[in-house]
Amino acid sequence: MLSDTIQAALNVQINEEIHSAYIYLAMAAESDRLGLPGFTNWFKQQYSEELAHADRFFNYILERGGEVKLTAIEGPKINNETPLELFEKSLAHEQHITSCIFKLKDLSRAESDHATDNFLEWFVAEQVEEEAATRGVLDQLKLVDGNPSGLFLIDRELGGRKFDSTSDED
Ligand code: OFO
């Protein structure tokens, strides 16, 4: 049985994950506007991954006999960004999500909810991966410094990303 406090916090995280998906979907559209199909693909894969994260929280709440309470999703604030800005914002956003996960961890420990604490372990590891992948692309973008040939090569590389929903499982 989930406490009301933990249940509310997990529901907030469903909103955070769908909000993340929404942000990456906006970034995919922005990349398409920039004529970068590989970036568009990368953000679309990221969008799918975030929806899978939301699903994990959804399923966990139900598994614990809790109640899912969905709330309004804030609109993404993406407008006329450069590729570099898109990845700077992505990294800042992932760092925000990491802090959300850490706060949830602290809360589950404070409430002695060992099951939730254990459930969140997957997300702790996932956030390390998400930040590293995003930082990797950001570093490459800084290196090419807007050079069109460099951007072309990065775009080609990002076009190869494919989200594997089965690898998102335990
Ligand atoms: Fe990007 O990890 Fe979920 O939000």
pLDDT reported for residue 1: 86
Residue 59 CB neighbours (<10 A): 11
DSSP conformation letters of 13-52 = HHHHHHHHHHHHHHHHHHHHHTT-HHHHHHHHHHHHHHHH
Cα–Cα distance measured from residue 39 to residue 159, given in angstroms and rounded to the nearest whole number: 7
- Give me ligand 1 centre to Cα 35, in Å: 25
Cα–Cα distance measured from residue 12 to residue 156, given in angstroms and rounded to the nearest whole number: 36
To test the ligand 1 pocket, which listed residue (19, 90, 97) has its Cβ within 8 A of the most ligand atoms?
Answer: 97
pLDDT in tens, 39-74: 999 999 999 999 999 999 999 999 999 999 999 999
Residue 52 CB neighbours (<10 A): 15
CATH number of residue 38's parent domain: 1.20.1260.10
Residue 54's domain spans which residues? 4-168
What total number of domains does the chain contain? Answer: 1
Residue 164 CB neighbours (<10 A): 10
Report the predicted TM-score, pTM, of the whole model to 2 decimal places. Answer: 0.94
The position carrying tokens 């190869």 is 160
The answer to whether the Cα torsion of 102, 107, 113, 116 is positive or negative is negative
